[in-house]
Amino acid sequence: MPRNSLFALLLLAGCQGEGGRSTTTSGDTPSATGLEQAAIESGVIANAAKLSPIGLFQRSHEAGRDALCVIPGRSGDFRFGTEAIFGKEERCRGQGTAKRAGDKLILKFSSAGGCIVVGQYDGDQLSLPGVLDMKCADLCDGRGSLEGVSFPRVGSDAASALRAQDRDGDPLCNPE
């Protein structure tokens, strides 16, 4: 019995070695836990910090469609356009520039008085936070909101992003 207890204590100590904190080394994803980092290093999951966000992200639902396109911009940043539809009359729409910060994509809208949104990007999806700055409300009609909207990836190239259109048939991402 004492040997089993000793084994259990050693196993528990090994599991708590990092105290639940994130572990990173230079160049790694800042928010990756030890298990996530091991999965990234072994190739089981992709390192979102190194995956390009260029492409088309879109999903359809009972109230409409949510779409976001990302294309290359100047000086290594990106340009984006987005539209989230919440029915016949309500939608959110905006364009601007984007920058990468690890597993985050920082969207700076060119309208809406300086609305900036920090989305979580995992390579397959961009998820916006559940609470946004009040300035971002200017992007939306009626009771629509970009809060908590997620955009799954459907295309991984600039061509698919450039083909995306809004509800009115206008390009979602405008080339420079």
Q: Band the pLDDT of 108: cuts 50, 70, 90.
A: very high
What pLDDT, on the 0 to 100 scale, is given for residue 13? Answer: 44
CA 173 – CA 118 distance, rounded (Å)? 19
Q: From CA 85, how far away is CA 9, in angstroms rounded?
A: 54
The more confident residue out of 136 and 32 is 136
Dump pLDDT digits (tens) for 73-91.
988 889 999 999 988 878 9
Q: Mean pLDDT across the stretch 148-168?
A: 94
Q: Is the dihedral of CA 84, 118, 176, 48 positive or negative?
A: negative
Domain residue ranges of the chain, discontinuous segments joined by +: 50-163
**pLDDT for position 20:** 40
Name the residue with higher pLDDT: 160 or 16: 160
**What average pLDDT does this structure show over 60-79?**
90
- Specify the pTM: 0.73
Enter the CATH code of domain 50-163.
Answer: 2.40.128
| Nearest partner of 83 among 167, 175, 169, judged by Cα | 167
State the pLDDT at residue 27.
46
Q: Which band of pLDDT confidence, cut at 50, 70 and 90, is reported for residue 127? A: very high
More confident residue, 39 or 110: 110
pLDDT digits (tens, 9 = 90+) for 29-47: 455 677 766 766 775 666 5
pLDDT higher for 70 or 45? 70
Mean pLDDT throughout 132-140? 92
